[in-house]
Structure 1
């Protein structure tokens, strides 16, 4: 017989690994303890935003929490597209390599996005 663990059990396992109470876990995503308890019992379904906050806090993927994968590690969102690619000129668009000037503009654009993102995250709760 195959036992399938649902997202509620995953949330419980992750919470206990960090030695957190239900109150602590509820505070991570700014919900009442009773709401969080509903997540663990699967009486309630957390929103995608709440799942993402849990995944970030526990450093796992949402897919892991939802039991879609056994791999706990989150893949870097920038995997395959990072500063190293920009600096070494390995980046291309649809098979056409980008020149230094194009890479400079892309870098400036990404830095602006990063700054805006940092400003927008002020006040968000991760634990």
Structure 2
């Protein structure tokens, strides 16, 4: 299934095997081997292909017919997604600070008993 999906995606982008290979520093024969399923790519190259073609790894591997990477349902909540977008666009130092704050909250919550009021 991987080879078939790779071929379809490559053709959708109007790339030859040689052109795709050049983008990933792979020989044309390697791409041909993947598409004909005579060679198996390692997981790192599969992830790179998924990112390049903007599909999920599961789609490339034939585990799903939905090509779009899926998010957990909770992350589709607009308030939560804004938080993650803000987090991802923050400098690394801010991200680290937010992780520490979250750890403090988790530790504090772990010590609470059901029915306790928040402080």
Tell me the equivalent position of 1:93. Answer: none
- Which protein, 1 or 2, shows the higher relative CO under an 8 Å CA cutoff with sep ≥ 6? 1
Give structure 1 stretches of 5+ with no counterpart. Answer: 1-5, 88-102, 110-127
* Structure 2 gaps, min length 5: 87-94, 102-119
- Counterpart position of 1:33: 28
Q: For the pair shown, which has the larger CA radius of gyration, 1 or 2?
A: 2
Is it true that 1:42 corresponds to 2:37 in the alignment?
A: yes
Contact 1:60 1:74 in 2 (8 A): yes
Query: Which of residues 23, 41, 54 in structure 2 aligns to 1:59?
Result: 54
Question: So what's the TM-score if we normalise by structure 2?
Answer: 0.62
CA 106–51 in structure 1, closer or farther in 2 if over 3 Å, else same: same
1:56-82 C-alpha deviation (Å, 9 max, x unpaired): 0100001001100011101359x7365
- 2:39 alignment partner, SS class: coil
Matched positions, count: 88
TM-score normalised by L of structure 1? 0.59
State the alpha-carbon separation in 2 of the partners of residues 10 and 86 from structure 1: 30
Q: Is 1:106 matched with 2:98?
A: yes
Structure number with higher helix proportion: 2
Runs of 4+ in 1 over 3 A off after TM superposition: 79-83
